[in-house]
Amino acid sequence: MSPALLILGIVALIHCVFAAHAKKCPDPGLLKNGNIHFTDFSYPHFINFSCDPGYILQGPNTSQCLKNGQWSAKLPKCQPVICPPPPVCEFSVLLYHRLKPGNVSVFQDEIKFECLLPYALFGNEIAVCQADGKWSAVPECRTVECPRPEGIANGYIYLLLRRAYHYKETVTYGCNPTYVLDGPVESRCEKTGQWSTKPTCRAPCAIPVKRATVLYNSQKVKVQEHLKNGVQHAEIIWFFCKNKKQHCSYKVPARCNDGKFTVPACFKDQRIQLFWKTDVADLPPCETIN
């Protein structure tokens, strides 16, 4: 290669590098909550700006790479949409609180609504500041009345008032003596205008045997003496049954279930006490024999 050609080549290379450098604008970076549309960052191309839904462009929407390698306009900003104060003044019973600090609501901010008692909230309790600058559906506060609460069989309601009951008010139930309350003690006036589930009073059980020594609350007792009045719902009595072959006794449980009591089939009632006969409960337990 001749020296002249080499010099020419170097000059051309320098020129190219210099020209390219002069015509290229710096990378504009990222536009937060928006996009930069471009094909080229070099003279004389334009780049365009747009914002994501819920954001508004503040500043120019386009910028050109100038001959001097500078952009014609600075990056704009994408500002979130602002929602007006939530519409609550018309109902003084509807309150809201912001879930984020600050007194201005912007896109995607949420507020939580609440109704003052005795009003009940209907709809979504959370509203969101939408991309269009409006709040999503705001809930409503309505009064709710429940009918007079119904009584329960073998039980009563404490302090039943002679007025209407409203949302979230409760009544308390009780059972007559020897009956056992099953279920929630309180019933609540619900949004639906109905009372929540009432309890049931479960009946005691008479023990349908004449004589027997049984295990009751871990104690050996005689039915004819200690359990004449029966037992309460859900109580368990262990009966002693006889294994004739091995001459021993084994225990079988029976549970009072709302007035129903089934004596274990293996139990033999001794209607009259025969003084020479050993009580089954006094036989050695079969467990110890085996």
Ligand X SMILES: *[C@@H]1O[C@H](CO)[C@@H](O)[C@H](O)[C@H]1NC(C)=O
List residues binding ligand X (CB under 6 A): 37-39, 46, 48, 61-62, 103
Q: Which is nearer to ligand X, 47 or 152 (CB)?
A: 47
Shortest separation between residue 73's beta carbon and ligand X, angstroms? 11
Cα–Cα distance, 191 to 144 (Å, whole number): 6
Shortest separation between residue 62's beta carbon and ligand X, angstroms? 5
Q: Which is nearer to ligand X, 39 or 288 (CB)?
A: 39
Shortest separation between residue 186's beta carbon and ligand X, angstroms? 43
Q: Which is nearer to ligand X, 3 or 101 (CB)?
A: 101
Q: Which is nearer to ligand X, 98 or 255 (CB)?
A: 98
Shortest separation between residue 3's beta carbon and ligand X, angstroms? 45
Shortest separation between residue 64's beta carbon and ligand X, angstroms? 10
The answer to whether 189 touches 161, Cβ cutoff 8 Å, is no
Q: Which is nearer to ligand X, 61 or 229 (CB)?
A: 61
Among residues 218, 207, 232, 225, the alpha carbon closest in space to that of 273 is found at 225
